[in-house]
Structure 1
Amino acid sequence: MASHHPFYSHFLSNPVAKPPCRMSNANMYGFFVKIEPLKVQHFIDSTLNFVATDELYFQGLGEYALLTFTDIEKIASLTPPFSEQGWMQETDIIIWLPIAQVEKQDNDESISHLYWYPAFICVNNVYALINGRETWGYNKYLCDYQMPSSVDMPTDFSVSLECFKHFSTTSKLQSYQLFSVTKNAATQPESMLAALEDFGEQVANLLDGDHLGIDFSLLKQLLNGFVNPQMDQILFKQFPDGNADKAVYQAVLHSPSEIKRIHQFKLLSGDYQLYLQQLDSFPLAQMFGLQLGSQAVHLPFYIKMDFDQLQATQLLPA
């Protein structure tokens, strides 16, 4: 199918650069939060499964999503001539859904692959937004944010977006805080892992349960792959026609993140709480089953790493 596509025009002033790109000194804070599988599956059906087939479809995995705040010090394309044009700082706030790829043959179904689905993303600059949406299909939106400047003082996190709090004919686009993550005043002793490899097992234990009978070792591999050596991402990319009735392009894509170096990793001490507000433009409670108001988060962690975001390849339509 890709062979029938015309060549893309990198005309003057077009900000779209070519992948892969190198992400240096990415400071990621992560929190696992409870979700509702039925609501998550509905979101998957309205995105990834919109182009699924009778032989291949996608299903949510477990009852937890991963919320990350990542400050990336330096991003640059690795492909000339874009690699000579400069670099940028980028901050991503992402809700990741663990996803199972299910293949069906006759009456038999089997899990053929596990992915991370960045189902909600907001970023801090328009260059990152345009490149992410147009090349990879990341569902990015601009935001303002708060996050720690140092892992030695991991206190408050928040994200605000220009949007509609309530849908109505009188609503005006304004900035509203969508959610925040705060540390409780009472702290606990530092909880360190014996080794980085233990992290995958820790999270696999958290997710273990009703996940289509997936072998525990395969689940552990998915979580280990988040930090070493590769994180497999799955994406839903589409562009509307001039009436926004039909899609001129619509596909499921795969893009790996190749981890090049781990600088630091640790679990964060203390208890953290996620506080979610209702915004009609971004109804995360309806999308993923996150609880409005306060809710606990699990396994808070920090990792500093370098990684390459590789080009995206089309999975569906085949």
Structure 2
Amino acid sequence: MTHEREITEPVDLCRPDGRLNPAAMGWSRRPLHRANLRGWGRAKRWEHWGVVTPTHIVGLVASSLDYAGVHSLYLLDRRSGIERTTEAVVPFARGAVLPPVSGAGAVRARGGGLVVEIDQRPDGSTVRATAPGVEVDLVVPLPPGHESLGVVVPWSTRRFQYTHKDVGRPVRGTLRVDGTAYPVDTESFAVLDHGRGKWRYAVSWNWAAGCAPGRALQLGGRWTDGTGATENALFLDGRLHKIGADLAWSYDRADWLRPWRVTGDRVDVRFHPFHERVARTNLGVVAGETHQCFGHFSGWAATDDGERVDLDGLVGWAEEARNRW
């Protein structure tokens, strides 16, 4: 078990010299960290929205890796299994706007026929993107009292990451694919992965997120192991139950569509994939490979007071990513 402290007041991620601020170490139930990153080199900033609807799955990324902006729009038709991906690599992340506080300010990115425009306000966000043949126009309200998970992961005072995972947000709007409109409504949900930090060159991670009405799950691993921080949580009726333990992930790299299992203190989760997405990047100094599977969850996770919550019916994803960046 980890012994992370809960942060309840706004705090700067970095000290004036650019190193990790000790007062920023811990976790929060809402966005409280300001990513005042300084200097060039090893700094990573991104916004990743994942949206699951009855008909489609959308993955939208705007990012700056200092020497490149890497932006993408991914769309999966759940009925046909057909994928569409538009990716853009912009030297030195020219034109990318990524604000220092999650949920506040504008996000902008463009390149290669892709345009991303996200506007964040206290009551929610609008998420818009266009790519060849695809238009995304969504509103993601922030319900009163809704909690999310912010965590600082410290590898050292010079290498660290602030991650904010907001899982199970309601979403409404429209997806337009080749001129056909698909409604996004009450049966849909959205997940935000907001990241800001100074990374090591080679990192691998696991991430899983799943949602159903009144319940949501956020699990991570590998990249946090041994740091004293975790990004694991159960959300029940919008309330965060932090799981302060490293977890064991089991899956078959020779057959990614076989069931996965994640276990540990307060967690026994099975994940049953129905589709595998493979993303590979090789730009020399920047390279990576991600296997992201979409599917259904089963098993249980426990609340702070020990109640076991049934996870049957949750839909989402589980992934392994390996990056040199």
Q: Taking structure 2 as the reference length, what is the TM-score of the superposition?
A: 0.24
Q: Flag the structure with higher strand content.
A: 2
Q: Over alpha carbons, which structure has the higher Rg?
A: 1
Q: Flag the structure with higher helix content.
A: 1
RCO (CA 8 Å, sep 6+): is it higher in 1 or 2? Answer: 1
